[in-house]
Structure 1
Amino acid sequence: MVDIIKANAEHSDLIAKLAQQTFSESHGHSASKEDINNFILRTYNTEAIRKEFENKQVDYHLIYFNKTIAGFSKIELQCPNININDKNITKLDRIYLLEAFQGKQLGVKLLDFNIALSKKQHQNGIWLVVWTENQKAINFYTKMCFEIAGAYDFKISETHTNPNHVMYLKY
């Protein structure tokens, strides 16, 4: 059984812990251990997550599988990208599943949920960035009809960035 619920600021600690684990699982080898740990501590701490709830364009959702937390997503409505000419578009800022829950179609369910939410808000498309070396994620988004629209350097630290694709799904 799959449940997707809207998160609120009270979920900040849970989201921070999920983000720390899932980012480490998916990107932990993309930079030095020190750079990754510092990025995680800076970006995925409870207070940083709690502050994001102040932005009314941001929505977090939690996905549960058989009543066990499996991952989360974060979208930002009305978030333009210089690589995309369309107006009124949504950024899929985060969609992370714990490794133990991958391969159960939960990513598809969470992505479809966010696309439907974006469409309901009269958005014209949804975009994201994905690490160029994360072929599993690139294949997933390509299968879901996203197309590469540009490039983006994802800053891990002052001395390290990871090359990313900007991928876009036009509605």
Structure 2
Amino acid sequence: MIVLKKASSGDLEALQQIGTETFYETFAKHNSAEEMRKYLAESFSSEKLLTELNNQDSQFFMAWEDENPVGYLKINSGEAQTELQDEISLEIERIYVKSSHHGKKVGQLLYEKALEVAIQQKKKYIWLGVWEENKRAVNFYIKNGFTEFDKHIFRLGNDEQTDLMMKKFLE
């Protein structure tokens, strides 16, 4: 059974583990080993994650199967959002699920948690950026009612990749 729990600084090591593992599983085959090492070291450093965990406008929720982390969600509101930063939206910055748990509704549970928080906070819409080549994720968001509204560049090392920006209104 999958259980969602809000993450705190005490979950730092588990968050680093699941973050690096899932990012690597998803993107390593499309990027150089050196760029992956550098990105993972920077993005999942203790300092960076502790700063994010302690930001009052960001929340992390981890999916656990028994004592094992199998996925996580990071959502941002207000100034913690990576781009739009308006008060009427909630950003899903990350929904990462271990490949061993794809197809087991873990991503759906994490998405539904983001939706629940957005509704509690009376947000008008949810938005996110997703790599255009990550067809599994793009299709997941379309299935959940998201539509594309823009694009932006995501840099991994020297490589520029295009993210689709998608949103879903919550009327």
TM-score by length of 2: 0.91
SS in 2 for 1:73: strand
CA distance in 1 between partners of 2:143 and 2:26 (Å): 19
Runs of 5+ unmatched residues, structure 2: none
Deviations 1:118-155 (CA, angstroms, capped at 9, x unpaired) = 11011111111111111111111100111111101111
Shift of 1:81: 4.2
SS in 2 for 1:113: helix
Runs of 5+ unmatched residues, structure 1: none
Flag the structure with higher helix content.
2
In the alignment, is the contact (CA less than 8 A) between 2:90 and 2:125 conserved in 1? yes
Shift of 1:68: 3.0
CA distance in 2 between partners of 1:136 and 1:61 (Å): 21
Structure 1 consecutive aligned stretches of length 4 or more whose deviation exceeds 4 Å = none
User: Which amino acid is the alignment partner of residue 163 of structure 1?
Assistant: T
Between the aligned residues of both structures, percent identity stands at: 23
Q: CA RMSD in A?
A: 1.7
- What's the counterpart of residue 53 of structure 2? 53
TM-score by length of 1: 0.91
- What's the counterpart of residue 111 of structure 1? 111
In the alignment, is the contact (CA less than 8 A) between 1:22 and 1:96 conserved in 2? yes
- What's the counterpart of residue 4 of structure 2? 4
* Within-5 A mapping of 1:8-157: 8-78=8-78, 79=81, 81-82=83-84, 87-157=87-157
In the alignment, is the contact (CA less than 8 A) between 1:129 and 1:167 conserved in 2? yes
* Count of matched residue pairs: 168
CA distance in 1 between partners of 2:22 and 2:130 (Å): 14
User: Which amino acid is the alignment partner of residue 96 of structure 1?
Assistant: Y
CA distance in 2 between partners of 1:67 and 1:9 (Å): 17
